[in-house]
Amino acid sequence: MKELLKQNILKHIALSNKEIDSFCNLFNENKVMKKQFLLREGDICKFEGFVTKGLFRIYHIDQNGFEQVLYFAQENWWITDMDSFTNEKPSHLYIQALEDSVVLLISKKDKEFAYNNIPKIEKLFRIMTQKTHISLQRRMIDNLSKTADQRYIDFIEKYPNLFQRLTNLQIAAYLGISHEFLSKIRRKIASKK
């Protein structure tokens, strides 16, 4: 399972075999059953995780009880509540497995150990943080400037294999629309084909 993690790391930075093995050995494998939570609102997030198998949703429940999905994480994606993990404060998020999954987890203490003992690891997380920031910025711009129809089309084009693994309800929560409105969009698109 750690082979996928090594490949992911080496896409971002160059490490010696000793460095990458030392870093990967700081992660613990965690099997998570479908519908099980890795994190619940109010808990302090004590991990950053790398998904090696399965699918997670990272979401918030608003004051009206509606789910707002920040993102989905499939194989080769990272998951955490960065605010809670970094600042050691209660989370506003839920992280839940949508399939039987396997995730490699690293604690804050072990991540700090890596920063101090394998200096290139700080560069790795800086690069990943920048990529995440860019992705979130683009998503915010899309949410402000594109119609729900276009956001749906963009989603299925950008994540075709992820799209196949999700329910309409989950996709609607990601797009910030109702399940009924998503059904209308899908019918409209189907009628154009």
pLDDT, tens digit, 9 for 90 and up, residues 2-49: 899 999 999 999 999 999 999 999 999 999 999 999 999 999 999 999
Using pLDDT thresholds of 50, 70 and 90, give the confidence band for residue 94: very high
Q: What would the two tokens of residue 180 be?
A: 């009924």
- For the chain, domains (ranges, CATH) are 2-119 (2.60.120.10)
Q: What is the pLDDT of residues 47-83, one digit of tens each?
A: 999 999 999 999 999 999 989 999 999 999 999 999 9
Q: What would the two tokens of residue 83 be?
A: 């605010």
Q: What would the two tokens of residue 61 be?
A: 């429940």
**Regarding beta strands 55-61 and 37-39, do their DSSP bridges make them parallel or antiparallel, or are they unpaired?**
unpaired
pLDDT confidence of residue 92: 96
User: Scanning the structure block, which residue is given the tokens 């309409």?
Assistant: 168
Using pLDDT thresholds of 50, 70 and 90, give the confidence band for residue 169: very high
Helix, coil or strand: residue 94: strand
Q: What would the two tokens of residue 108 be?
A: 């804050």
pLDDT confidence of residue 163: 83
Rounded Cα distance between 2 and 24, Å, is 7
Q: What's the pTM?
A: 0.92
Q: Which of 5, 56, 55 is nearest to 28 (CA)?
A: 5
Rounded Cα distance between 152 and 186, Å, is 9
